[in-house]
Chain A
């Protein structure tokens, strides 16, 4: 009875039920009453509204969580590394492990672009959910670019694209593809754009590739020893314009 009223039975079964209801007044009465219950459940104001302060509280909690997470991720890099012990004791095992890690995913796992694209989407959504788009909020590229000095071992390009309709908003540090990454934030109207930049591995080539994932548009390319990923909910066309501007710097 409920499956029929919820539109969850196939056509044949539903025709059979309709036929029976025409002939059986007891069933048809019961069906009508059930139908009106379902209608009332759907239309009565039974749905609770989230309290006004809940979203702010959650953002604060997530922000705290994000801060803890990123400091936990950065810490291992600072631990002193005992090269001697590694060299004498661990070299053969480590080499084998490294070979497995490096080669096996290439043969069987998702492609590097798939995996990285997923990481980029996750980083983008996280930055929006946590309301943590920027560690440094500034629209001046002469302020944002030097901010990365000492925080990264490379200097990401930070451009002034306000005249092209992509004002700079700021920057922050991310951890992507197993390494510290620059995240530079631009806006187009109400659409935030995250640009992730890190050191390219040698052999990575420059050709731009476009993806769509979970409703976000992504473009990635490599040039001048750096790998770039941009992601936004902006439409493909405008995001492409943005990528073009970065690839052929005006000044």
Chain B
């Protein structure tokens, strides 16, 4: 098994949001990694590889779906309304995991990728700064806003479910 191929595919899949494009991105990225292996010296090989996947993914999206990049992040009502029990806890149940999945797909790319790197791939803030070449403050605020957005989405969806049941 190629090292970190699974992680590479996961990131590409979440960036592209469909399997065919994710495969193209990973393949292109692995060839680049192979060609530029001399550029890798020390540090985490996983972070090095995912940096290449991310850059390849952005290049690919810019060429094929430019409108998805720099999508506007709607800022209305960033506070999370009260409700109990929290829909976050409900999302743990398998029926609601689909909701969470859809919600995460709708988070704009620049915010979504930080959640993927942090919560799915387990990178530290510092490593995410290295991978994305973004300032620490930007990484932190994007992560925070992405998670707030997820909470809002889960809330709205949970609300609709309840309405439907009534």
Contacts and interface: CB of A to CB of B under 8 A. Distances in A.
B131 interface: no
A62 interface: yes
Interface in A118-138: 118-119, 122, 125-126, 129-130
Interface stretch (A44-52, A202-210, A234-242): A44-52
Interface stretch (A2-10, A73-81, A144-152, A164-172): A2-10
B23 to A, nearest CB: 6
Given A34-B147, A37-B150, A58 B26 contact: yes
Interface in A1-30: 1-3, 6, 8, 30
B86 A33 contact: yes
A2 B22 CA distance: 29
A36 B125 contact: no
Interface string B24-56: 001100110011011001100100000000000
Given A37-B151, A55-B1, A61-B31, A48 B100 contact: no
A48 B38 contact: no
A40 interface: yes
Contact of B2 (A8, A34, A38, A58): A58
A122 B100 contact: no
A41 B10 CA distance: 14
B100 A44 contact: yes
Interface residues of A, number: 43
Given A1-B144, A54-B26, A122 B38 contact: yes
A82 interface: no
Contacts of B45: 214
A122 B8 CA distance: 20
Interface string A148-187: 0000000000000000000000000000000000000000
A122 B37 contact: yes
A46 B104 contact: yes
A30 to B, nearest CB: 7
A122 B26 CA distance: 21
A58 B120 contact: no
B77 interface: no
Interface of B: 1-2, 5-6, 8-10, 13-14, 19, 22-23, 26-27, 30-31, 34-35, 37-38, 41-42, 45, 80, 86, 88-89, 91-92, 97, 100-101, 104, 115, 118-120, 124-125, 140, 143-144, 147, 150-151, 154
Given A41-B115, A44-B101, 19 more contacts: A3-B125, A36-B88, A37-B147, A39-B92, A40-B91, A43-B92, A44-B92, A46-B104, A46-B120, A50-B5, A50-B9, A54-B9, A54-B26, A54-B27, A58-B31, A118-B41, A129-B2, A129-B34, A214-B42
27 contacts: A2-B143, A3-B125, A3-B140, A8-B124, A33-B86, A34-B151, A36-B89, A40-B100, A41-B115, A41-B120, A41-B147, A42-B120, A43-B92, A44-B91, A44-B101, A46-B104, A46-B120, A47-B10, A47-B120, A49-B9, A50-B26, A54-B5, A57-B23, A59-B2, A66-B34, A129-B2, A214-B45
